[in-house]
A and B are shown apart, each in its own frame.
Chain A
Amino acid sequence: MQRSRLALVGAIAASALAITACSGGGGDTDAAASENAISYGTTDPQLLIPGRQSVAFDFNMAVWSPLTFLNNDGSLDYVAAESVETDDATTYTITLRDGWTFHDGTPVTAQSYVDSWNAVAYGPNAMENSGQLANIVGYADLNPAEGEPTTTEMSGLTVVDDTTFTVELSGPDGQFPLQVSQAMTAFYPMPETAMDDLDAYNVHPIGNGPFEIVDDYVENETIVVTAYEDFAGDEPTIDQISFVPYTDEATAYTDVLAGNLDVNGVPANRLTQAEGDFGDRLYSFEAPGISFLGLPLWDERYQDVRVRQAISMAIDRETIIDVVYGGTYEPATAWTPTIEPGTPEGICGEYCEYDPEAAAALLEEAGGFEGTMEIYFPGGGGLDPLYEAIANQLRQNLGIEATIDPSADWAEFLATRTAGDIDSPYFSRWGALYPSQQATLRVFFIQGGGCDNCIPFYSDEVAAAMATADADPSGDGTAYADVQELIQAEFPAVPLFNETYSYVTSERIAELVTSPVGNPTLREIVLAD
């Protein structure tokens, strides 16, 4: 009797183990059994559909095909579209390719696009990416400031025939063909059935792309997509991709090292060791991302342009890139990342070059700097080493009492920056979704452009110059040089780095191919023999 009680405790523990033993979770890579299959590490997306996703770009680019595709050399390919044409840069005629179908077999028509864009833009649907469609005439009607919209359609969209529709924009915009390129997912088409039940569609998305989803999406489980048999575009080099969710990117990185996972992004805290670990299986892709050191222009100490320039010249970008980013970033020399066509490289000139003596002299000339600096940035994201390095350099080279002040989390940082409640330099970066200077300049320098107070310098002059440059029908981006000159004269922030997105691969991958959006183009991946 006495013994049996102890035994009972043991038995309960043992049976509980047995009960739970059969349950499985996510993170299994078994699906990658086929020869031509790869596995790809992701964050568990939760939201998969183009109008809502924020961390499922790679999945979206596999399951959908964009209207246009921007190549590394800056040329534009037409994928689902045969042409995107305009006479006045305001009304565009989009002609679709014939014979394209969704994965459910239904044809992709002009009506599919128009219905999809209307559904994404429709205010009450509260789609996270609806802002991408904001320049289409009628967007405002679907998103009234007060109350419910009285219509469900944007008046700027007109179906001409099965494969043709027109898009009227609220102003001339020569960059529109780039705005419907690979990473602008809000412009992807959805089949008719999707609109009936968007939640169900999120569980089993159906696209027009090279790969189709196999099973319903289950949170934290691997998403498997296989090549779509009736795909009308170029055949992909692989026939299956498994998107494996990881909660910790460093773990995914280790799994690639062990050969259990084929491709994964390199987390910030592994950048310095990635080359040693992977050699030529480390890929650093030039991306349309740029980092600035934001300055609190509402604080009187930052009013003199020379103070701002001095801070910029006191920062040794090359050293920081080596120490913090393992040499993968490039120093910024303009107000947009180099990969964006037409960027006036070197417009920043001496002010983006490290010269501690000149910086100190310039600050002296401007009357010095009173008080302290507590560089503010979102905490918990591995940014501490970067801002510590910057603070150190400002302390050494300018004698400013500079320290760091990480926020508790992203939400707190965002609220503080949006409110302009900072009196020190701060985190400011943007990764554009289409590599055009327009995308970067608009979010930073147009009020309400997307990155509120990232660079709190909003002038009518810049806005007017932007409108002129946007209207340039050539669309090659050279027109934005005028905007950059206006900004350069004011020097409202410190350009830091052109960003790269880094990936590592297992030995099964011979070559990872990219495009100027910075993500790998998985459908063109080259497998090792």
Chain B
Amino acid sequence: MTGTARAIGSRLLELAIVFVGVTFIIYAMVFSLPGDPIAALGGDRPLPDNVVAQIRAQYHLDDPLWLQYLRYLGNLFTGDLGTTFQGASVAARMEARWPVTITLALTAWAIEVVVGVLLGLVAGLRKGSMLDRTVLVGTILATSIPVFVVGSAAQLIFGLRLGWFPIAGTGDGWPTSYILPAIVIALFGLAATARLTRGSVIDTMQSDFVRTLVAKGLRQRDIVGVHVLRNSVAPVLTFLAIDLGFLLGGTVVIEAIFNLPGIGQMLFEGIRTHEGPTVVGVSTALILIFLVTSVVVDLINSALDPRIRA
């Protein structure tokens, strides 16, 4: 148990170092974007010079990078994530938007897990069959079409023509508002999950212990349900966990197409308007999610597979 504690401790230290490094890099990147974000705030209609000067002063934009960053970090430790150039609190905005993104990501992830693993399992067990080939071709197809094409097409077909799902917004709540966009994003991870599971299942089915189990006369259902699935799932689980991180951060396009006010949108707008606090706040949160999921994956993997345990 002390080994585990030490492992977690060192991961946490890594986490802290990555956190400071990454926030600084992102802050510096936003800082170095060309153009004056405040002058551009008014779009076509330039703001009066004194208004620009005042807002710049208010957000300390004329200070050197290191001072701005230190101030940001200092505020961060007091729980203040800063404000947008319109004066809205970044923390409050994130709080309002996380539920949308998390709901979307988890819905997509659940579809990915259930359908992906199931397809992979069936394809793996019936290697070479018609079904296996269909899954193979289907997954290649799914991963080769850009997400915005699938998204817009799904919107036009299932939203507009058939009217099964709302076209935009979260007004109908979960699940109605989320299913269509979730399926669209799930398609990509689903393809990978299915193929990973398939390969893993085939490997496991060919291993000695399965042969032994068959020889011992265990029922096929128990062999697959308990032994094969558990042994095949480790690599898939690693992928799924990392993919959950991607889903939480990488849904910008889908959020835009389906008008879901989530975290991806906020990040995109932040970059477009050069808003340091927004970009750093959101991306830091995303990085933390990645780091935490990777720690969790390690722990789950070691729980599932005694051989990994130290």
A interface with B by C-beta (< 8 Å): 2-3, 5-6, 9-10, 13-14, 16-17, 20-30, 44, 46-47, 54-55, 123-124, 126-128, 130-131, 134, 143, 145, 199, 218-220, 244-248, 250-252, 254-255, 257-258, 260, 380, 408-416, 418, 429-431, 450-452
Contact = CB atoms under 8 A, between A and B. Distances in A.
Interface stretch (B9-17, B18-26, B94-102): B94-102
Nearest to A449: B46
Contacts of B39: 411, 414-415, 418
Contacts of A220: 96-97, 261
Contacts of B258: 251
Interface string B100-136: 1011001101100100000000000000000000000
Contacts of A248: 256-257, 259
Interface residues of B, number: 71
Nearest to A144: B50
Given A247-B256, A260-B167, A128 B51 contact: yes
B91 interface: no
A134 B93 contact: no
B106 A17 contact: yes
B45 to A, nearest CB: 7
Contacts of B100: 23, 25
Contact of A411 (B40, B173, B256): B40
Contacts of A16: 102, 106
Interface stretch (B158-166, B207-215, B283-291): B158-166
A244 B169 contact: yes
Contacts of B58: 126
Contact of B168 (A9, A127, A260, A411): A260
B35 A54 contact: no
Contact of B256 (A9, A130, A251): A251
A13 B51 contact: no
Nearest to B304: A5
B187 interface: no
Contact of B259 (A5, A6, A246, A430): A246
Nearest to B37: A411
Contacts of A124: 54
B274 interface: yes
Point out which of B97, B258, B261 has the most chain A C-beta atoms below 10 A from its C-beta.
Answer: B261
B230 interface: yes
A2 B226 contact: yes
Given A21-B174, A123-B50, A128-B47, A13 B109 contact: yes
B64 interface: no
Contact of A17 (B103, B167, B170, B261): B103
Given A220-B96, A246-B259, A254-B155, A27 B168 contact: yes
Point out which of B51, B58, B97, B175 has the most chain A C-beta atoms below 10 A from its C-beta.
Answer: B51
A245 to B, nearest CB: 8
The 3 closest A-B pairs by CB, nearest first: A28-B171, A27-B169, A411-B35
A254 B256 CA distance: 13
B7 to A, nearest CB: 19
Contacts of A3: 226
A134 B103 contact: no
Nearest to A411: B35
A29 B34 contact: no
Given A46-B86, A130-B51, A23 B99 contact: yes
Given A16-B102, A380-B272, A411-B39, 17 more contacts: A6-B229, A20-B103, A21-B173, A24-B170, A24-B171, A28-B169, A134-B48, A219-B261, A247-B256, A250-B257, A251-B168, A251-B256, A258-B160, A260-B167, A408-B33, A411-B274, A418-B39
